[in-house]
């Protein structure tokens, strides 16, 4: 039997996705999780074929969650659902082991195609994600400062640009305040920026954080 986990903090979205999957893939068992820690706990307790993961989950950074889920079960297919533009997460998510990225604004039929694609052992890549990958291959935009950041530095960068304090980031990522401050210093050095206000301006200019 096909086992699927829907990880999203919005109840109505989980219900809608569950109904769609159960109607379209009747020979499947669909479970739900509403935050990052529960998602990881359920993945450790059960063997899932596909995990539909909202990249913005409470309790744990989305990219960290992708890494942890793949560490827990290297064979699981993690299909990311997000309202965020692919520029904000797609390439790094694929590098961490995600099997596909899908925007929540897409048609329901696209979700089913994506699920079947990753179950067949292939990656599902949206048109925009394909453009980003092509740019990466040919080197377009490779000199942008944020490209020099490590995955962890990029996480801290986006949280700082979103208005999070060092203390809040420390709690969210389970890091010490001193460690987060060190990451901030590295980010400023690598990007050539001077303060959080400039980080925020840069992030919005390059669509690395959402208006919301």
Which pTM does this prediction carry?
Answer: 0.71
Q: Which CATH number fits the domain that encloses residue 154?
A: 1.10.10.10
In this predicted structure, the answer to whether residue 43 has a pLDDT above a threshold of 60 is yes
pLDDT at 33: 96
Q: Are residues 64 and 86 in the same domain?
A: yes
Q: Which 3-state string (H, E, C) describes the chain? A: CEEEEEECCCHHHHHHHHHHHHHHCCCEEEEEECCHHHHHHHHHHCCCCEEEEECCCCCCCHHHHHHHHHHHCCCCEEEEEECCCHHHCHHHHHHCCCCEEEECCCCHHHHHHHHHHHHCCCCECCHHHHHHHHHHHHCCCCCCHHHHCCHHHHHHHHHHHCCCCHHHHHHHHCCCHHHHHHHHHHHHHHHCCCCHHHHHHHHHHCCCCCCC
> Please, which pLDDT band fits residue 16 given cuts at 50, 70 and 90?
very high
Q: Which CATH number fits the domain that encloses residue 38?
A: 3.40.50.2300
Give per-residue pLDDT as tens, 140-164. Answer: 555 678 888 888 898 899 899 989 9
Q: Are residues 156 and 188 in the same domain?
A: yes
Instruction: Give the domain range for residue 173.
Output: 145-205
Domain boundary among 112, 136, 160: 136
Mean pLDDT of 122-146: 71
In this predicted structure, the answer to whether residue 111 has a pLDDT above a threshold of 80 is yes
Give per-residue pLDDT as tens, 160-202. Answer: 998 999 999 999 888 899 999 999 999 999 888 889 999 999 8
């Amino acid at each position: 039997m096909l086992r699927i986990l829907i990880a999203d903090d919005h109840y109505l979205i989980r219900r809608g996705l569950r109904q769609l999957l159960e109607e379209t893939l009747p020979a499947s068992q669909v479970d739900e999780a509403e935050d990052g820690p529960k998602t990881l706990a359920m993945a450790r307790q059960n063997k899932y074929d596909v995990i539909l993961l909202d990249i913005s989950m409470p309790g744990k950074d989305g990219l960290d969650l992708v890494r942890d889920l793949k560490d827990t079960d290297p064979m699981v297919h993690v299909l990311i659902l997000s309202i965020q533009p692919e520029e904000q997460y797609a390439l790094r998510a694929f590098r961490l082991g995600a099997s596909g990225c899908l925007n929540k604004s897409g048609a329901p039929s696209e979700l089913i195609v994506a699920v079947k694609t990753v179950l067949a052992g292939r990656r599902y890549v949206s048109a925009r994600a394909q453009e980003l990958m092509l740019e990466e291959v040919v080197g377009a935009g490779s000199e942008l400062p944020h490209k020099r950041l490590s995955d962890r530095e990029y996480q801290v960068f986006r949280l700082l640009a979103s208005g999070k304090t060092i203390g809040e980031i420390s709690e969210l990522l389970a890091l010490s305040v001193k460690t987060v401050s060190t990451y901030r210093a590295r980010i400023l050095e690598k990007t050539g920026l001077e303060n959080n206000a400039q980080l925020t301006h840069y992030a919005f200019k390059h669509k690395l954080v959402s208006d919301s």
